[in-house]
Amino acid sequence: MAKIMLSNQRAIRLRSALRQGILLVTFGVIVGAIFNGLRTDGLPWVGLWSSPSVAVQHLQGLEDVSLGKAWALYKSGQALFLDARDPEAFQKGHLPGAINISHGEAIAFSEEVRASAASGIHIIAYCDGVGCSLSSELACALQEYGIPQVGVLINGWSLWLKAGFPVERGAE
Amino acid sequence: MWSRFMAWCCSPLISLVFRWALGGIFLYAGLIKTCDPHGFALAIYNYQILPGWMINPMAILMPGVEIMVGVSLLFGIRAQAGALIATGLLGVFALALGISLIRGLDIACGCFSTSSSVGSITWLYLLRDLILMVMSVHVFFLDHEIASVDRLIQKKLYEKVNSE
């Protein structure tokens, strides 16, 4: 008898928590919608989320370097790749001759990159994934330090690897 | 020894610590995402799980739910319901993380930061998520409503009824 009463109590408690939980989620949904509505740069309810549209979002006017162009420049010795991924990913593998410039390190490498750019070398930043914005952020940071000719190879690491082009491993 | 450990595990103090910790974590995560809905939408997109039309509504609404769960747990307002929703959310996050790790995606978590420069997800992220889930289950079953608004309201009502 006591067992049945206890299980009934538990069921009532669970039902009550469920009801209140639904109410909590409803309030949360309203709060989220209000916050977004109050923002001047709020997110539209319907967004375009295809690979090209995400890539365009990241580029923000920067030069979009195709895989073919990057390969041609590399073959002719006119490309300097900047790997914007974290050092661990870089150690596992990177484009030939790439320099690993993690987030916030652009200033430390700006002179080296500037010297290469001045000698006619094409500077190409890359990271991994269409949604990865690190390469475009790096290109923007370098532009701020006065190096305007930085292109971006969107989804560079995956594309390069998929194409079967040569890669290097370990630190530079 | 075992019974002492169990008694310690089920103590009201542990439940309170878990509730406050979870409340703070959810409130922080919700506010961070509310401040940068574009970054959070991109983080959701990178998981490649949801269809495109669901990404923006999710990025707009989920932070609000996280904030409400955080407030509920932190202040003890319908904390059991808060713990229930927290468990559900953490379960969904764990599933998304697990799928992405198995698929070998090199993406940022989007858990406590919307920036893609915070490093890629690892199995430790999944472990952290599961620990938080255990904590929320603990709060759901064993919360004693210590230092909670609910308890305060109950006390006031009790006093009012007694005085009449």
The ipTM is 0.87
Q: How far apart are CA A34 and CA B61, in angstroms?
A: 9
Q: Interior CA angle at A117 toward A116 and A122, to 5°? A: 100
Of A50, A128, A134, Cβ closest to residue B117? A134
Q: Does residue B4 lie within any of the structural domains?
A: no
Q: Does residue B108 lie within any of the structural domains?
A: yes
Q: Work out the burial of residue A34: count CB atoms within 10 Å of its CB; fewer than 13 is exposed, 13-18 middle, 19 or more buried.
A: exposed
Q: Does residue B8 lie within any of the structural domains?
A: no
Give me the domain span that covers residue B51.
14-163
Domain A51-162 = CATH 3.90.180.10: no
CB contact under 8 A, B64 and A137: no
Number of domains present in the structure of chain B: 1
Q: How far apart are CA B28 and CA B10, in angstroms?
A: 27
The structure tokens listed for B1 are: 């020894």
Q: Does residue B148 lie within any of the structural domains?
A: yes
Residue of A nearest to B82 (CA): A21
Contacts of B42 (CB under 8 A, 6+ apart): A54, A57, A131, A133, B114, B116
Of B53, B64, B72, Cβ closest to residue A29? B64
Taking the Cβ of residue A60 and every Cβ of chain B, the question of whether any pair is shorter than 8 Å is answered with: no
Alpha-carbon torsion angle A91, A92, A95, A99, nearest 10: -10
Of B109, B140, B114, B113, the closest CA to residue B126 belongs to B109
pTM comes to 0.77
Residue of B nearest to A47 (CA): B56
- State the amino acid at position A97 in one-letter form: G
- Give me the tens of pLDDT residue by residue for chain B, a chain 164 residues long: 778 878 877 888 899 999 999 999 999 999 999 988 988 998 898 888 999 899 999 999 999 999 999 999 999 999 999 999 999 999 999 999 999 999 887 788 888 877 766 677 889 999 999 999 999 999 999 888 888 898 899 888 888 888 87
CB contact under 8 A, B56 and A23: no
CB contact under 8 A, B116 and A13: no
